[in-house]
Amino acid sequence: MKSNRIVIGAFVAMVFVLSALSTPARGDPPVNPVTEWNTIAVTTLIGLPGPAGGAPPASQVHVAMVQGAVYDAVNAIEPKHYRPYLLNRRFSARASKDAAVATAAYMVLRAIVSTVPNIADPARATLLGTLATQYANSLAGVPNGPFKNQGIAAGNAAAAAMISARQHDGRFGPSQWVPNTAPGHWWPQMNAAGQPILDPTPWVGAVDPFAIQTSSQFRTSGPNALTSAAWAAEFNEVKALGSATSAVRTTHQTYVARWWQSTPVAIWNSVANELAERDGLSIVDTARLLAMENLSGADAAINCWNDKYYWDFWRPWNAIPRAAEDGNPATLPQAGWTPLIAAPYPDHPSGHLCLDGAHTRILQMFFDDTIEGGYEITSMSTLLGAADARTRSFGSFSQAVAEVTEARIWAGLHYRTADSQAKVLGWNVADYTAANYFQPVGRAH
């Protein structure tokens, strides 16, 4: 029987996080530098070319590096602090948090942009120049003096610890894909020139994780057996609903499928910033929220991509034309079947849902599941029409994640099991992170 592990103590971790939140600390500025630099980081990193780290799983790893350093910089200043992630140093409680945040974020971003491959030199120089200007503008707003200097020192120390820790961590390593043309295995689609469309970041599953112990710690139980009734049911569901020319998918379902074709790291960081500012979270609590959320998201991406190439399970556009080969009489082939949306890596588990599960699990810990007044998500999907609404409101995190689960089926991207197991994988990673990191000093593991 299939099962998905839930980390023991997750409820305790959730209660602890909620009880540990505080009102804004005295002296915190009206504009939160943590959310400002998070927006800069996300915008910069998702804009990189795919092989350079802009694809969703890789940009998530890089955003985690930034937010981990920002957390350590602020935490090293905060008198009532939490356990550090990497930086085991303390700085004056009067040091400028604004300077610490800006410096930590800028130094990590500069290191990433300077070293990732596949960026043309003029574009790299432009990015670095933009970041330098943003950093100078941030520091210009901080009064000169010893407290500014101490904040810069804290930010530099936190950034150096993160950059050192991520040296030789497996980023941009070899592809994990082992080609296999047997039934049940993924095979890439071809472009107009007849070349395979391959994963721009096939190395993510081999990257050293941030918080979990191994890149396969939360291995999913895997796809349904091809001869099973469950496989036939899910095959036929996506065959009918996910086709590019589906006659049963509604106009609204098509819109929703396209609307969610937006990177989770941008979606959920934006939501976190919106809610942190709405609730008046202090700088240290905002830094903690975004570190927990993005380190969990990064480890979910790593474990998810490790799973993808471990199971190497075929996408609907592989399976449906070749259904005669799966040994299941309840599945029938359809030549030329194509999905509404395609993706260049194996099906199982869903990358989107792995990240959605991790991000929203941490957000639930800080804000509860149901959000009074709701929250907004603005889609960055390039598949929407000019007249399509890009901003939509949701009343809970569960509502949004449930809709993503359906949307990936309506898009012809995934079978239902790939979505459901991915969501639980993300939960497991987030629960483990919350139970083992970012707790108050003196609290036992």
Phi/psi for 68 (5° steps) reads: -65, -40
Q: What's the pLDDT band for 127 if we cut at 50, 70, 90?
A: very high
Q: Residue 303's pLDDT is what?
A: 98
Kindly tell me if the per-residue pLDDT of 97 is higher than 70.
Answer: yes
Q: Residue 80's pLDDT is what?
A: 79
Determine the average pLDDT of the residues in 190-207.
96
Q: Residue 43's pLDDT is what?
A: 98
Q: What's the pLDDT band for 441 if we cut at 50, 70, 90?
A: confident
Q: What's the pLDDT band for 445 if we cut at 50, 70, 90?
A: low
Phi/psi for 3 (5° steps) reads: -150, 160
Other CB atoms within 10 A of residue 296 CB: 31
Kindly tell me if the per-residue pLDDT of 256 is higher than 50.
Answer: yes
Determine the average pLDDT of the residues in 227-253.
98
- In this predicted model, what pLDDT tens digit does every residue of 160-188 receive, in sequence order? 999 999 999 999 999 999 999 999 999 99
Q: Where are the domains of the chain?
A: 1-9+225-445, 31-172
Q: What's the pLDDT band for 14 if we cut at 50, 70, 90?
A: very low
Contacts of 273 (CB under 8 A, 6+ apart): 35, 38, 39
* Class of domain 31-172 (CATH, top level): mainly alpha
- Between CA 41 and CA 48 the distance in angstroms is 11
Phi/psi for 392 (5° steps) reads: -135, 155
Determine the average pLDDT of the residues in 27-48.
88
Q: Residue 444's pLDDT is what?
A: 55
Residue 357 — left, alpha, or beta (φ > 0 → left; ψ -120 to 50 → alpha)?
alpha
Determine the average pLDDT of the residues in 241-245.
98
Q: Residue 189's pLDDT is what?
A: 95
- In this predicted model, what pLDDT tens digit does every residue of 260-297 receive, in sequence order? 999 999 999 999 999 999 999 999 999 999 999 999 99
> What is the residue-wise DSSP string for 225-282?
PTTSHHHHHHHHHHHHHSBTT-SSS-HHHHHHHHHT-S-HHHHHHHHHHHHHHHHT--
- In this predicted model, what pLDDT tens digit does every residue of 390-429 receive, in sequence order? 999 999 999 999 999 999 999 999 999 999 999 999 999 9
- Determine the topology of domain 1-9+225-445 in CATH: Vanadium-containing Chloroperoxidase; domain 2 (1.10.606)
- Between CA 139 and CA 415 the distance in angstroms is 49
Q: What's the pLDDT band for 81 if we cut at 50, 70, 90?
A: confident
* Helix/strand/coil for 434: helix
Kindly tell me if the per-residue pLDDT of 15 is higher than 60.
Answer: no
**33-46 vs 283-311: helix crossing angle, rounded to 10:** 30
Determine the average pLDDT of the residues in 218-244.
98
Q: What's the pLDDT band for 26 if we cut at 50, 70, 90?
A: very low
| This model's pTM is above 0.85 | yes
Q: Residue 443's pLDDT is what?
A: 61
Instruction: Report the sign of the C-alpha dihedral through residues 416, 421, 426, 428, in that order.
Output: positive
Residues above pLDDT 90, as percent of the chain? 91
Q: What's the pLDDT band for 19 if we cut at 50, 70, 90?
A: very low
Determine the average pLDDT of the residues in 127-143.
98
Q: Residue 22's pLDDT is what?
A: 37
- In this predicted model, what pLDDT tens digit does every residue of 321-355 receive, in sequence order? 999 999 999 999 999 999 999 999 999 999 999 99
